[in-house]
Amino acid sequence: MSKRDLKKYLGELNKTQLEEQILELYEKFSPVKTYYDFVFNPKEDKLLQECKVKISQEYFPIKKPGSKRRPKAKMRRSVAQKYIKHFILLGVDPFVIADIMLYNIEIAQTYSSQNLIKQELFYKSMLNSFEQAVNFSISNGILHDFKERILAIEQETIQQKWKNKYDFEAILEKHDL
């Protein structure tokens, strides 16, 4: 069904029928429920904190009571990416999204400053995250607000002697930062 056909169909429904359809969608489909829950009660601060906790647990997992050793860090970039995609879909404030993008890299750098990371994929994925964060900040006109953090991330790659530190620098040069 095309968007035009859908508009025509919805135009033929009365208010009660439209309300019933929306309620049915709300009950049947989790993404619709999530969307309306956010629209009518956008607790962005709460979402931001929950997201940061989940991301930090990827690098610094919490030891469960009764367990003898601390769980191993999973370092999955996909956890942050899932939140970022979800936040963009919901229409969360770009400042919150950019904050999460940069936080993901910063927490990974905190971890790598304390642990030797041998996987090349880690560095490549952090570079991709960095480029995504810079591009997102530019496209939403909020680069000035995050410039200091972006530059600090790039400096940290140099300080930690990341193998791809020059690629981070190249991204900044490309955008005259």
The verdict on 166 and 102 lying in the same domain is yes
Task: Clarify whether residues 58 and 96 are in a common domain.
Answer: yes
Same domain assignment for residues 36 and 92: no
- Give the pLDDT confidence score for residue 63 in this predicted structure: 72
Number of domains making up the chain: 2
- Give me the domain span that covers residue 137: 42-62+69-174
pLDDT for the residue numbered 76: 82
Kindly state whether residues 8 and 50 are assigned to the same domain. Answer: no
Cβ atoms of residues 131 and 173 within 8 Å: no
Spell out, as residue ranges, where the chain has pLDDT lower than 70. Answer: 67
pLDDT of residue 3: 87
By CB neighbour count within 10 A (0-12 exposed, 13-18 middle, 19+ buried), where does 44 fall?
A: middle
Examine the domain organization and report whether 37 and 53 are in the same domain: no
* pLDDT value of residue 135: 96
Q: Are residues 89 and 141 in the same domain?
A: yes
**Residue indicated by tokens 């993901």:** 104
